[in-house]
Amino acid sequence: MKTEIIAVGSELLTPDFQDTNSLYLTAGLNAVGIGISFKSVVGDDEADLARVLRTALARSGLVLCMGGLGPTEDDRTRETLAKVLGRKLVFHEEIEARIAARFRRRGLPMSPSNRKQCYVIEGAEILDNPHGTAPGLWLAAGRRRIALLPGPPREIRPMFEDHVLPRLAGSGQGPVLRRILRLTGLGESAMETLLGPVYATVPPDVAVTTLASPGELSIRLSSFGRDSRAAAEARLERLVQAIERVLGPYVYSRDGASLEAVVGALLKGKGLTIACAESCTGGLIGHRLTDVPGSSGYFLESAVVYSDRAKTKRLGVPKALIEEHGAVSAPVARAMAAGIRRTSGADIGLAVTGIAGPGGGTARKPVGLVYIALARSQGVAVARHIFFGRREDVKFQSSQRALDMVRKTLPKPPRKPL
């Protein structure tokens, strides 16, 4: 059985946009033992879309088609597939009621344009969409199966996980388990070198892929074995342990959790509070920490002290210290960390000061130079880094290393096997 992913949307045929949903769907499908044979992208033109759907149905047994389910004129996927299959569209009042309720919760009337989303292709199952108005559809046509899914990632992801994957159970090779290790603090080639001996021990029914972006690495393990779930789990666990033996200090998460969530759980577990003083990160550390639900239990505040005046006024960094060493320096980073800890009353004060670029660098203090300091009752530690990349990359890597410095400072909770 061939599997095909179709992305619909004229913007995906421009130089500015690219389908990325298919990567996510591929990962999920691979995890249940289904490989992809074809990917297609087509615009909103109905004749083109009809051609692509016909081609897909002729060559693939499973077709996942995403996009073009919205309320606008150019959203034609539902209508076009109905024509291609020679089936009617049927109005479903329960969908209308659900969309109307969604608008009502927002104090708005349902827009007439949303009515088209209430039509369902004859014989299709409706896939609920709690994150948007467009329901998905699941159809069988002969031996072929087709899913119509919405385009926005926040809508397609839960729908795929909750409604598509369960319908595919048993289609692939067998219970496929996945593990995602996330790492920071080392580069991709260093990781590959350290992993070398581990690669040699990977069983044939386990796939290992690595992904790298500035400041963040991940190792994805998928077990495709035909044996029991317990055996597959044991196999993955042995591999995770082998990886941790060589990369242990860099692995911050064994279950895909974000670094801010890991740090948050550590703080919560120890009953500690944190406050930040951010210069070049501009608020990103506070933003990341507060992305975690319940972070108000340990995150007190962040002073985004972009100007020198703010560093002095908010944190008591002596003006003379800034004048002597410069705002981007180890002594100022230390004073910022100690200052935010003292003025906030937090257990941990975390400070970052650096040059995010593209301007502002000098020969002695280049773009990417960043000092990170951590203050506790025991004293203040400071680390100097040089990060590469664009402004956003320098900001992200700074936030990543700062959060990781907190993680490494806190005692690890007792290890529980996943």
Scan residues 287-346 and list those touching its own copies (CB under 8 A): 287, 289-291, 293-296, 299-307, 309-310, 313-314, 343-345
User: What's the closest the beta carbon of residue 291 comes to its own copies, in angstroms?
Assistant: 6
| Binding segment toward its own copies, per CB under 8 A, in 119-127, 191-199, 246-254, 408-416 | 191-199
| Binding segment toward its own copies, per CB under 8 A, in 139-147, 190-198, 239-247, 407-415 | 190-198
- Residue 124 or 151 having the CB closest to its own copies: 151
User: What's the closest the beta carbon of residue 381 comes to its own copies, in angstroms?
Assistant: 22
282 binds its own copies (CB under 8 A): yes
- Residue 124 or 263 having the CB closest to its own copies: 263
- Backbone phi, psi, residue 207, to 5°: -105, 135
List the end-to-end C-alpha distance of the chain, in Å, as a whole number: 33
- The whole-angstrom separation of Cα 202 and Cα 168 is 27
Of 224, 221, 218, 206, give the one whose Cα is nearest residue 259: 218
Tokens describing residue 238? 């042995």
**Stretch 63-92 residues interacting with its own copies (CB under 8 A):** 70-74
- The whole-angstrom separation of Cα 226 and Cα 238 is 18
- Interacting residue with its own copies among 203, 249, 358, 413 (CB under 8 A): 358
∠ CA 274-260-245, nearest 5°, is 115
52 binds its own copies (CB under 8 A): yes
Tokens describing residue 36? 């992809």
- Interacting residue with its own copies among 157, 178, 325, 365 (CB under 8 A): 178
- Residue span 4-23 as binding mask against its own copies, x where in contact by CB under 8 A, dash where not: -----xxxxxxxx-x-x--x
- Residue 38 or 138 having the CB closest to its own copies: 38
User: What's the closest the beta carbon of residue 88 comes to its own copies, in angstroms?
Assistant: 25
- Residue 77 or 302 having the CB closest to its own copies: 302
- Residue 86 or 107 having the CB closest to its own copies: 107
167 binds its own copies (CB under 8 A): no
Distances (CA, A) of 257 to 39, 84, 218, 235, 245: 29, 42, 11, 21, 20
204 binds its own copies (CB under 8 A): no
DSSP SS3 for 146: strand
By DSSP bridging, strand 348-354 and strand 274-278 are parallel
- The whole-angstrom separation of Cα 167 and Cα 309 is 59
User: What's the closest the beta carbon of residue 27 comes to its own copies, in angstroms?
Assistant: 4
CA dihedral 66, 72, 78, 79 (to 10 degrees): -140
- Residue 46 or 125 having the CB closest to its own copies: 46
DSSP SS3 for 336: helix
- The whole-angstrom separation of Cα 291 and Cα 259 is 11
- Interacting residue with its own copies among 33, 44, 82, 137 (CB under 8 A): 44
213 binds its own copies (CB under 8 A): yes
- Backbone phi, psi, residue 375, to 5°: -110, 130
- Interacting residue with its own copies among 8, 32, 42, 64 (CB under 8 A): 42
- Backbone phi, psi, residue 85, to 5°: -85, -10
**Stretch 119-158 residues interacting with its own copies (CB under 8 A):** 131, 152, 154
User: What's the closest the beta carbon of residue 109 comes to its own copies, in angstroms?
Assistant: 10
Task: Give the full edge-to-edge strand order of the sheet including 379-386.
Answer: 274-278, 348-354, 369-376, 379-386
Q: What is the largest CA-CA distance in the chain?
A: 79
**Stretch 371-390 residues interacting with its own copies (CB under 8 A):** 386, 388-390
Tokens describing residue 268? 């919560």
- Residue 10 or 173 having the CB closest to its own copies: 10
User: What's the closest the beta carbon of residue 412 comes to its own copies, in angstroms?
Assistant: 26
Tokens describing residue 146? 């087709």
Whether the Cβ atoms of residue 180 and residue 169 lie closer than 8 Å to each other:
no
- Residue span 221-260 as binding mask against its own copies, x where in contact by CB under 8 A, dash where not: -x--------------------------------------
207 binds its own copies (CB under 8 A): yes
27 binds its own copies (CB under 8 A): yes
- The whole-angstrom separation of Cα 155 and Cα 172 is 24
354 binds its own copies (CB under 8 A): no
